[in-house]
Structure 1
């Protein structure tokens, strides 16, 4: 498949009640391993990519190095590849779109794009985030790629206690509607774990909804029943791999 065909195939994998499962990767090697395990598409996690290269999350990892990793992942398999692009490495809509254009040019078919102010506090306003999404969509259309913009809200991550999430759902739904109107392809709500609230979001939001697996989140089968269209694993796979590596190394060094 060429890039356009991959982009179309990736979008079609997002089905409410039959979610695409993305076991997040961080480099070409992990991409090949997950592809060989049976994945239908690949997606990076920003935390994992940064950590694997000695950086912290939050756009500390240099943009051009991220583009190089995206290029290597795309070249490593024939699967559609989505890149976690955090806040776009800029505030200004035109600069964000220019940056996203770099990952489109190396063959990626989608991004995660978050609404938190990276390096600052709080979230971008609905209007500001919508303008940024519109600019990304315009760039993708100019390049002729039906690019998947997975619009992420950090509402629930900013308030980590699940007991306090219910009052945030209306704002999340409002943000989803604004994102959809601006040209987003999906809606990502990391941190949301309550099944009733997940079901409420899925029912109210027209876009395919993405849930991130973490402790307390229902199993994939349950999420499918709630109407989820995409399930991702965030930094979980990388953390599990590193813990395994530490354990194996400890066995070696403890023998002495």
Structure 2
């Protein structure tokens, strides 16, 4: 088995090498094994994918910390790749709660996780920048010595606050507080992403496939992006295939969808764990 220390070292190295890398988002052990077999170098969990698999809405109130970390631990066990987790808002407002979440995440075998500054309250959707920075500082302090990469998320653009200046200011404060990676989901165009990357000195994560425009890995790398995730979009793509197949059967009584189904033997082969260190 690959040690947590080795996974952390590999994860850090991905952020240090030239260019950008893709960190796709499985939502269970099976999809983690598939993405591992397909040759990706690291994985990240998705709260949306997990929520849909559990039959609930994607919201911070729908998934508690134990559920998220139990799912993350199953993904960690299914792969030898470094795994980072979507840790929502840290599962509590206080810096101490965020620190405890990081401690528990490291114990689950994760080598990274993100903390966002959204509150989940539409009337006041974004935390005060000072408190948000304190939360990142507490997360970064507990991460030291635990082989753990802290990603700080600025959520303005997901909550109808399209203020690039404030987003950059927040991420600058988060990097000063000790964040290892910075993330502002929902930026509207490449110029905004380029400006962000120029104004911070930490690796920047960009998500693709949620909504709005998408850009290639090469285009994102050219403006300074280091890490590219897909959020819940792989899960939604899988659900789209399910819905189209079910609608065909319901509406037409035919089963042509099966032509595009992955053969069972191919899926079964991907369910065998792989270890990079195996002889």
**1:248: Cα distance to partner?**
2.0
SS at match of 2:115: strand
Measure, in 2, the Cα distance between the counterparts of 1:52 and 1:102.
23
Q: Please, what TM-score do these two structures have when normalized by structure 2?
A: 0.84
- The yes-or-no answer on 1:234 pairing with 2:231 is yes
1:191 aligned residue:
186
Cα–Cα, structure 1 residues 178 and 130, in superposed 2: closer, same or farther, change >3 Å?
same
Superposed, which structure 2 residues align to 1:50-129 within 5 Å? 50-59=51-60, 60-119=62-121, 121-129=124-132
> 2:258 maps to which residue?
none
- CA drift of 1:138 comes to 2.0
CA deviations 1:155-198 (Å, max 9, x no partner) are 111228xxxx4xx2221221111101111011111101311111
Q: Which moved more, 1:18-27 or 1:35-44?
A: 18-27
Residues 131-170 of structure 1, C-alpha deviation per residue, up to 9 Å, x if partnerless?
A: 11111122222xx32311111111111228xxxx4xx222
SS in 1 for 2:105: helix
Q: Distance in 2 between matches of 1:213 and 1:193?
A: 11
Instruction: Pick one of 238, 243, 255 that aligns with 2:253.
Output: 255
Secondary structure of the equivalent of 2:15? Answer: coil
Distance 2:245 2:5 in 1: 42
State the distance in 2 between where 1:192 and 1:112 align. Answer: 17
- What's the counterpart of residue 221 of structure 1? 218
May I ask how many residue pairs the two structures share in their alignment? 248
- Higher mean displacement: 44-53 or 118-127: 118-127
CA contact (8 A) 1:193 1:217 kept: no
Q: Deviations over 1:114-134 (max 9, x none)?
A: 111134522112210111111
1:172 and 2:175 correspond: no
2:264 is matched with none
Backbone CA RMSD of aligned residues: 1.7
- Partner of 2:274 in structure 1? none
1:134 to 134, 137, 153: 137
Structure 2, unpaired ranges of 5+: 255-279
Task: Report how far residue 238 of structure 1 moved.
Answer: 0.5
Matched, 1:41 2:62: no
Structure exhibiting the larger radius of gyration computed from Cα positions? 2
Q: Determine if contact 1:24/1:45 at 8 Å carries over to the other structure.
A: yes
5+ unaligned residues in a row in structure 1: which ranges?
none
Partner of 2:275: none
Shift of 1:55: 1.9
1:158 has 2:159 as partner: yes
Contact 1:17-1:225 at 8 Å conserved across structures: no
- Once the two structures are superposed, residues 81-126 of structure 1 have per-residue CA deviations (whole angstroms, 9 ceiling, x without a partner) of 0110110110011122112221110100111211111345221122
Give 1:17 shift: 5.7
Q: Deviations over 1:216-247 (max 9, x none)?
A: 13222111100100111111111100010122
Distance 2:131 2:222 in 1: 34
1:25-50 C-alpha deviation (Å, 9 max, x unpaired): 11111111111111100001211111
- For residues 237 and 21 of structure 1, what CA distance do their matches in structure 2 show? 13
> 1:182 maps to which residue?
177
Deviation at residue 15 of structure 1 after TM alignment: 4.4
1:191-220 deviation per Cα after TM superposition (whole angstroms, max 9, x unaligned): 013111111111111111111113313222
Q: Is the 8 A contact 1:193 1:216 kept in 2?
A: yes
